[in-house]
Amino acid sequence: MSSSWLRLAKRIAIISVEVVAGVAVTAVIAIFAISQWQLSARHGAGEPPLRVKPAASMVVEGARLARTNGCSGCHAEGLTGHLFVDSFFVGRLAGPNLTRIVPHYSDQQIADLIRNGVRPDGTGIVFMPSHVLVRLADGDVAAIIAYLRTLKTKPDTAKDSSFGLLARALVVAGMIPLEPDTVDRKQLGPLKRPTDAAALGPYLAKTTCAMCHGGDLHGEAQTQSPNLFEMVPAYSLADFRTLLSTGIAPGGRKLGLMTEMSVAGLKYLRDDEMVALHSYLSAGEHPSPLR
């Protein structure tokens, strides 16, 4: 190859690298710009005011409900924050310190955050399971708020989330959705939780269980959770109680996330709640007013 052709080949290679680098830089800038626009967008709460006022008498029940509905799973024991991921490309993903946040929010703002995934400034949050918690009864939400009001402010055990390039790209691609975009407000929970077993079972399944097993309880690949209508019929009531209370399945088996959830929260379910859940899920899939 002559020197002129060699120089031309080198020039073409340099231009190609420059073009690729330019496209990459443009893509990164676009990802940051679009994701920031999405994360900064304002959303309306879109629901009526909380219909049950939090009261001191609700604190004990609120503490129990905070556990059964997974608050400590995302915000750690004591609700002072929990770090999930911290890497350069992904960013820092963490459940924030609720003891620091709650004192600055009104009761309604906390309710909007829980059931709509909307902050007081109107921006949406991610990862908070508001698309499931929207189904909670006003009475249950009020009890959780009453409990949160009793917490003393403590130092953060994890810094607040900060999205890196990969997390922002997933937001742009819709793979990390903003909760306000996933909440179906037609599923807004009732004034008070059901008390009869026939209605309590589906209520608990579509709130507590749906966080890991999907809105229809058919399981989710992301959490490797099974279809509850197929799994639970194989459990006797005694085995089901043991699973929820200890995280141990028949044969002494531990079930990963299910075991973690049982130890952290499901063991706080009352016996009548476990019975109602078992009755509903073991009867097989059927329509319910919460679907």
In a domain, 4, yes or no: no
Tell me: do 125 and 246 sit in the same domain: no
In a domain, 157, yes or no: yes
Tell me: do 177 and 66 sit in the same domain: yes
| pLDDT value for 14 | 62
| pLDDT value for 286 | 60
What are the tens digits of pLDDT across the range 1-28?
556 655 655 565 565 655 565 656 788 8
Tell me: do 204 and 173 sit in the same domain: no
pTM of the predicted model as reported, rounded to 2 decimal places: 0.89
> What pairing do the DSSP bridges indicate for beta strands 248-249 and 253-254?
antiparallel
| Count, residues in the chain | 291
Tell me: do 171 and 220 sit in the same domain: no
Cα separation, 249 vs 184, whole angstroms: 34
Which range marks the domain in which residue 172 is found?
41-192
Cα separation, 143 vs 53, whole angstroms: 9
> What pairing do the DSSP bridges indicate for beta strands 248-249 and 82-87?
unpaired
Tell me: do 163 and 101 sit in the same domain: yes
Cα separation, 174 vs 206, whole angstroms: 24
In a domain, 285, yes or no: yes
Cβ neighbors of 72 (< 8 A, separation 6 or more) are: 66, 78, 79, 264, 265
Question: How high is the mean pLDDT of the chain?
Answer: 89
Q: Where are the alpha helices (DSSP H) in 205-284?
A: 210-213, 228-231, 237-246, 257-264, 271-282
Last residue of a domain, one of 152, 176, 192: 192
| pLDDT value for 284 | 75
> How many CA atoms, within 13 angstroms, populate the side-chain half-sphere of residue 261?
19
291 confidence band (pLDDT: 50, 70, 90): very low
| pLDDT value for 281 | 96
Tell me: do 287 and 228 sit in the same domain: yes
Tell me: do 248 and 225 sit in the same domain: yes
Q: Are 167 and 93 in contact (CB under 8 A)?
A: yes
Tell me: do 187 and 224 sit in the same domain: no
Tell me: do 158 and 234 sit in the same domain: no
The CATH code of the domain that includes 245 is 1.10.760.10
Cβ neighbors of 76 (< 8 A, separation 6 or more) are: 82, 95, 157, 158
In a domain, 35, yes or no: no
Q: Which residues does residue 92 pair with via DSSP β-bridges, in sequence order?
A: 86, 162
Tell me: do 188 and 214 sit in the same domain: no
Last residue of a domain, one of 163, 192, 221: 192
In a domain, 166, yes or no: yes
Tell me the CA distances in angstroms from 245 to 7, 240, 270, one per residue in order.
73, 8, 10
Cα separation, 199 vs 218, whole angstroms: 19
Tell me: do 228 and 251 sit in the same domain: yes
What are the tens digits of pLDDT across the range 208-233?
999 999 999 999 888 889 999 999 99
Tell me: do 130 and 240 sit in the same domain: no
CB atoms near residue 48 (< 10 Å): 9
In a domain, 30, yes or no: no
What are the tens digits of pLDDT across the range 94-117?
999 999 999 999 999 999 999 999
73 confidence band (pLDDT: 50, 70, 90): confident
Q: How many domains does the chain have?
A: 2
Find, among 274, 280, 275, the residue nearest to 229 by Cα. 280
Last residue of a domain, one of 142, 173, 192: 192
Q: What is the mean pLDDT of residues 148-164?
A: 94
